[in-house]
Amino acid sequence: MSFHSLFKAAAVAGLAAVASITTASAADLTVGANIGNVPWEFQDETGKTVGFEVDLATEVANRLGKTIAFENIPFNGLFSAVQSGRIDMAVSSITITKKRLESVSFAQPYYDSDQSLTVAASSGLKSVDDMNGKVIGVDTGSTGDIWATENSDKYGFAEIRRYEGLAPAMLDLTAGRIDGYVSDIPALLYYTKDKPNLAVVERITTGEQYSMMFAKDAELATQVNDVLTELKKEGYISGLHEKWFGAQPEETTSTVSILEMPKL
């Protein structure tokens, strides 16, 4: 079967899974997500929750024969939510780190990323070297938060302000209440593509990889990892990349490559 046929079949299956999405209390799988994290999980103009990871998690649930529900949780709250069993897994462009692997588990990665600096296009700011004495915005507990905190003295940030999601940070950036915003580059490239008043001016290389997060050593993590292997083999995740980013992923990335589950 051709890739396009495979993707079309997978898309049909995905639509069937969407139809099975139900309330969190009745669903087989409750997935925590920081809704508003474009293009991974956000609400479209009709109020429907959509995005790359919404499609992916829904298809994973479909392959496991389970219904799924998404629960909106601020990014920093996702970690305690999986650890306590309040949710079964979490998505929100969550970076796999050794520190996080001490207390949670991840399935194999499916996206390679870096951080970025976004500024007002009229500001004249071109890189993090220009941020001496400036106010930086980040998402609470994110890898952008970690990077900005670790590099605050190096670049001379006047202040680091923490937000619960991209939308409030973008409001403050547009209003001039912060000078720059450090966050995941795919989300910011997607968000700013139709906003000429904002500009992503620098890629901050961090070598991050995203995946779904689970309670430590949860059996579900292994089950989902196996499904991700099958979806990579079929080209389904590559198809999602094309759908949400407008281009096929490079063959060397974790979107295509089958990898082992992350371990310490």
Is there a single domain that holds both residue 37 and residue 88?
yes
Triad 87, 88, 94: Cα angle to 5° = 85
Is there a single domain that holds both residue 229 and residue 179?
no
CB–CB of 178/161 below 8 Å?
yes
Is there a single domain that holds both residue 9 and residue 87?
yes
Is residue 258 domain-resident? no
Is there a single domain that holds both residue 46 and residue 173?
no
Is residue 163 domain-resident? yes
Please count the other Cβ atoms lying within 10 Å of the Cβ belonging to residue 144: 28
pLDDT over threshold 70, residue 212:
yes
- The span from the CA of 114 to the CA of 208, in Å, is 6
pLDDT, position 32:
98
Is residue 259 domain-resident? no
Is there a single domain that holds both residue 89 and residue 108?
yes
Is residue 252 domain-resident? no
Number of domains making up the chain: 2
Q: Express each pLDDT in 7-60 by its tens digit.
A: 444 443 444 344 334 456 689 999 999 999 999 999 999 999 999 999 999 999
Is there a single domain that holds both residue 201 and residue 233?
no
Give the domain CATH number at 101.
3.40.190.10
Can you say whether the dihedral through the CA atoms of 7, 8, 12, 13 is positive or negative? Answer: negative
User: pTM of the full predicted structure?
Assistant: 0.85
Is there a single domain that holds both residue 74 and residue 166?
no
Bridge-based pairing state of the strands 135-139 and 159-163: parallel
Is residue 102 domain-resident? yes
Is residue 257 domain-resident? no
Is residue 217 domain-resident? yes
Give percent of the chain with pLDDT exceeding 90.
Answer: 89
pLDDT, position 44:
95
Is there a single domain that holds both residue 82 and residue 120?
no
Q: Cα separations (Å) of 74 from 31, 37, 98, 146, 164? A: 13, 10, 22, 17, 6
Is residue 255 domain-resident? no
Is there a single domain that holds both residue 156 and residue 125?
yes
Q: Kindly report which listed range (1-10, 179-188, 220-229) carries the lowest average pLDDT score.
A: 1-10
Is there a single domain that holds both residue 159 and residue 232?
no
Mean pLDDT of the chain: 92
- Domain enclosing residue 157, as ranges: 114-207
pLDDT, position 10:
44
